[in-house]
Structure 1
Amino acid sequence: MTDTITVTLSKPIMHDGKEITSLTFREATAGDACAADLVEGQFKKMLAIMSGMAGVPLPVLMNIPMREITRILTEVTPLMGE
Protein backbone atom coordinates (compact mmCIF):
# COMPACT_ATOMS: atom_id res chain seq x y z
CA MET A 1 0.00 0.00 0.00
CA THR A 2 1.21 3.50 -0.79
CA ASP A 3 1.56 6.12 1.94
CA THR A 4 -0.49 8.74 0.09
CA ILE A 5 -2.95 8.96 -2.76
CA THR A 6 -3.37 12.13 -4.81
CA VAL A 7 -6.75 12.63 -6.45
CA THR A 8 -7.18 15.20 -9.22
CA LEU A 9 -10.58 16.87 -9.19
CA SER A 10 -12.52 16.93 -12.46
CA LYS A 11 -13.29 20.62 -11.79
CA PRO A 12 -11.34 22.90 -9.48
CA ILE A 13 -13.10 24.19 -6.37
CA MET A 14 -12.46 27.46 -4.58
CA HIS A 15 -11.82 27.77 -0.85
CA ASP A 16 -10.65 30.91 0.95
CA GLY A 17 -9.76 32.50 -2.39
CA LYS A 18 -7.57 29.55 -3.43
CA GLU A 19 -8.22 27.19 -6.30
CA ILE A 20 -7.95 23.52 -5.36
CA THR A 21 -7.33 21.15 -8.26
CA SER A 22 -6.26 18.04 -6.36
CA LEU A 23 -6.14 16.58 -2.87
CA THR A 24 -3.47 14.34 -1.39
CA PHE A 25 -4.71 11.89 1.22
CA ARG A 26 -2.53 10.14 3.81
CA GLU A 27 -3.48 7.12 5.86
CA ALA A 28 -6.26 7.83 8.37
CA THR A 29 -5.26 8.08 12.02
CA ALA A 30 -7.11 7.54 15.29
CA GLY A 31 -7.01 11.33 15.64
CA ASP A 32 -8.97 11.69 12.40
CA ALA A 33 -11.62 9.34 13.80
CA CYS A 34 -11.73 11.30 17.08
CA ALA A 35 -12.16 14.58 15.19
CA ALA A 36 -15.05 13.01 13.28
CA ASP A 37 -16.81 12.39 16.60
CA LEU A 38 -17.22 16.17 16.89
CA VAL A 39 -19.67 16.34 13.96
CA GLU A 40 -23.20 14.97 13.63
CA GLY A 41 -24.28 12.44 11.01
CA GLN A 42 -22.54 9.40 9.56
CA PHE A 43 -21.79 10.91 6.16
CA LYS A 44 -20.41 14.10 7.67
CA LYS A 45 -18.23 12.00 10.01
CA MET A 46 -16.77 10.22 6.97
CA LEU A 47 -16.09 13.58 5.30
CA ALA A 48 -14.44 14.79 8.53
CA ILE A 49 -12.09 11.79 8.49
CA MET A 50 -11.29 12.45 4.83
CA SER A 51 -10.64 16.14 5.50
CA GLY A 52 -8.13 15.15 8.18
CA MET A 53 -6.49 12.71 5.79
CA ALA A 54 -6.16 15.46 3.18
CA GLY A 55 -5.17 18.19 5.66
CA VAL A 56 -7.96 20.50 4.53
CA PRO A 57 -10.89 22.02 6.42
CA LEU A 58 -14.18 20.08 6.31
CA PRO A 59 -15.91 22.75 4.16
CA VAL A 60 -13.49 21.95 1.32
CA LEU A 61 -14.83 18.39 1.10
CA MET A 62 -18.40 19.60 1.55
CA ASN A 63 -18.05 21.73 -1.59
CA ILE A 64 -16.99 18.83 -3.81
CA PRO A 65 -19.78 17.43 -6.01
CA MET A 66 -21.20 14.13 -4.81
CA ARG A 67 -20.05 12.23 -7.92
CA GLU A 68 -16.50 13.33 -7.12
CA ILE A 69 -16.83 12.28 -3.47
CA THR A 70 -17.93 8.83 -4.61
CA ARG A 71 -14.88 8.55 -6.88
CA ILE A 72 -12.54 9.86 -4.19
CA LEU A 73 -13.92 7.38 -1.66
CA THR A 74 -13.23 4.52 -4.04
CA GLU A 75 -9.62 5.67 -4.41
CA VAL A 76 -8.83 6.43 -0.75
CA THR A 77 -10.72 3.63 1.00
CA PRO A 78 -7.51 1.53 1.26
CA LEU A 79 -6.04 4.33 3.43
CA MET A 80 -9.04 4.32 5.80
CA GLY A 81 -8.38 0.97 7.45
CA GLU A 82 -10.88 -1.80 7.85
Structure 2
Amino acid sequence: MIKIDINLKNEKEAVELVSKLSTCSVNIDMIYGHYIVDAKSILGVLSVAAGKTVTLAIYADEIGDVEDKIRDFVKK
Protein backbone atom coordinates (compact mmCIF):
# COMPACT_ATOMS: atom_id res chain seq x y z
CA MET A 1 0.00 0.00 0.00
CA ILE A 2 1.21 3.49 -0.89
CA LYS A 3 -0.10 6.60 0.89
CA ILE A 4 -0.03 10.07 -0.67
CA ASP A 5 -1.40 13.33 0.72
CA ILE A 6 -3.41 15.43 -1.73
CA ASN A 7 -5.26 18.75 -1.64
CA LEU A 8 -8.73 19.23 -3.06
CA LYS A 9 -9.62 22.93 -3.12
CA ASN A 10 -13.26 22.61 -4.12
CA GLU A 11 -15.98 20.31 -5.41
CA LYS A 12 -14.87 20.75 -9.01
CA GLU A 13 -11.44 19.32 -8.20
CA ALA A 14 -13.06 16.43 -6.31
CA VAL A 15 -15.17 15.54 -9.35
CA GLU A 16 -12.11 15.79 -11.62
CA LEU A 17 -10.08 13.50 -9.34
CA VAL A 18 -12.81 10.85 -9.18
CA SER A 19 -13.14 10.97 -12.96
CA LYS A 20 -9.41 10.34 -13.37
CA LEU A 21 -9.20 7.62 -10.70
CA SER A 22 -12.21 5.75 -12.10
CA THR A 23 -10.05 4.55 -14.99
CA CYS A 24 -7.44 2.97 -12.68
CA SER A 25 -7.47 -0.79 -12.20
CA VAL A 26 -6.20 -0.72 -8.60
CA ASN A 27 -8.26 -0.08 -5.47
CA ILE A 28 -7.85 3.39 -3.98
CA ASP A 29 -9.30 4.67 -0.72
CA MET A 30 -9.46 8.23 0.56
CA ILE A 31 -8.73 8.79 4.25
CA TYR A 32 -9.67 11.86 6.29
CA GLY A 33 -9.39 11.48 10.04
CA HIS A 34 -11.32 8.34 10.90
CA TYR A 35 -13.33 8.38 7.66
CA ILE A 36 -12.36 6.04 4.83
CA VAL A 37 -14.20 6.15 1.50
CA ASP A 38 -13.68 4.66 -1.93
CA ALA A 39 -11.74 7.29 -3.92
CA LYS A 40 -13.64 6.26 -7.06
CA SER A 41 -17.00 7.11 -5.49
CA ILE A 42 -18.16 10.65 -6.23
CA LEU A 43 -20.59 10.66 -3.29
CA GLY A 44 -17.93 9.39 -0.90
CA VAL A 45 -15.30 11.87 -2.04
CA LEU A 46 -17.66 14.85 -1.97
CA SER A 47 -18.79 13.92 1.53
CA VAL A 48 -15.29 14.09 3.04
CA ALA A 49 -12.78 15.74 0.74
CA ALA A 50 -13.84 19.03 -0.82
CA GLY A 51 -11.68 21.86 0.49
CA LYS A 52 -9.43 19.58 2.55
CA THR A 53 -6.12 17.77 2.60
CA VAL A 54 -6.73 14.02 2.51
CA THR A 55 -4.65 10.87 2.13
CA LEU A 56 -4.99 8.47 -0.78
CA ALA A 57 -4.26 4.83 0.03
CA ILE A 58 -3.32 3.07 -3.19
CA TYR A 59 -3.43 -0.72 -2.86
CA ALA A 60 -0.58 -1.64 -5.19
CA ASP A 61 3.15 -2.31 -5.02
CA GLU A 62 3.90 0.46 -7.50
CA ILE A 63 2.03 3.71 -8.10
CA GLY A 64 2.18 3.22 -11.89
CA ASP A 65 -0.40 5.11 -13.96
CA VAL A 66 -2.03 6.60 -10.84
CA GLU A 67 0.89 9.03 -10.45
CA ASP A 68 0.08 10.87 -13.69
CA LYS A 69 -3.58 11.17 -12.73
CA ILE A 70 -3.01 12.67 -9.28
CA ARG A 71 0.00 14.88 -10.09
CA ASP A 72 -2.04 18.12 -10.01
CA PHE A 73 -3.50 17.29 -6.60
CA VAL A 74 -0.40 16.17 -4.66
CA LYS A 75 0.20 18.30 -1.55
CA LYS A 76 3.14 20.62 -2.01
Q: TM-score, normalised to structure 2's length?
A: 0.33
User: More helix per residue: 1 or 2?
Assistant: 1
- Looking at secondary structure, tell me which structure has more strand per residue: 2
